[in-house]
Amino acid sequence: MSNPLEDGVLAANQAFYTAFNQRDTYAMEHLWALEHRASCIHPGWAPLFGRQTIMASWRAIFGSPEPPRIEMTDAHALVMGSAALVTCIEHLGDATIVASNVFVQEGGEWRIVHHHGGPMPSPRSSRRPSSHQMN
């Protein structure tokens, strides 16, 4: 069964990865929150805080000679009122990154307030709790 709030935040999440792959600075700027303080942790980077610093990081990534392309899969949304968490997997060549993107509603749109990507073990070495261990 489709949930309009989840569908909306998943669409915003997809727009984030589309902006990344198209190196579209304007679209990326539109996706990030204006009214809330934001943070971002790129894989291997120290945490970044504040919109200006985060946008500068995206401009640097997009301006690199060969910015990576990301294939995003396995997106799942958890909506909590006017905030939402999306977890997903980022595939960058041979690397697999697990990502979490936190969104808030501003002006009727879902906007990112936090992005965090970090290394993920290969599926074979990944340990998931059995169903009786999960809450």
Q: Report the number of distinct structural domains present in the chain.
A: 1
- Residue 25 near residue 62, CB atoms below 8 Å: yes
**Does pLDDT of 54 surpass 90?**
yes
Alpha-carbon distance 68 to 73, whole Å?
16
CATH label of the domain that carries residue 35: 3.10.450.50
Q: Domain limits at 26?
A: 4-119
Q: Look at residue 126 and tell me if it is in a domain.
A: no
Q: How many CA atoms lie within 13 A of 11 on its CB side?
A: 9
Q: Look at residue 129 and tell me if it is in a domain.
A: no
Token pair for 106: 């501003």
Helix (H) or strand (E) holding 15: helix 4-22
Q: For residue 32, give the 3-state DSSP assignment.
A: strand
- The tens digit of pLDDT for each residue in 87-114 reads 999 998 888 999 999 999 999 999 999 9
pTM for the model:
0.86
pLDDT at 74 (0 to 100): 96
Q: Look at residue 133 and tell me if it is in a domain.
A: no
Q: Look at residue 26 and tell me if it is in a domain.
A: yes
pLDDT at 86 (0 to 100): 98
